[in-house]
Amino acid sequence: VVLVEVRLDERGGLREMKLLRSSGIESLDEAAINAVASWRFRPEVQDGEPVPSRVRIPIEFALTASR
């Protein structure tokens, strides 16, 4: 599991992103960061107005072997 924290502006635009918890495998951490960087977010709304926000996103990888 990789835990990524994203800080968004009032329009839902990505302001900052950081890795909070590593999977222990660099390539999986990079894949999680790259995936989240391409996502689009809706802004948080409080009292009818969009506001900056912070979101923590867990990304779980499952590795399976095929025969």
Over residues 22-35, the pLDDT tens digits come to: 999 999 999 999 99
Asked if pLDDT for residue 67 goes beyond 90, the answer is: no
Tell me the one-letter amino acid at 30.
E
Asked if pLDDT for residue 53 goes beyond 80, the answer is: yes
One DSSP character per residue, 38-59 reads T---PPEEETTEEE-EEEEEEE
The helix or strand, by DSSP H or E, that contains position 37, with its residue range, turns out to be helix 26-37
Q: Residue 64: pLDDT band by 50, 70, 90 thresholds?
A: confident
pTM value is 0.84
Looking only at Cα atoms, what is the longest distance across the chain?
55
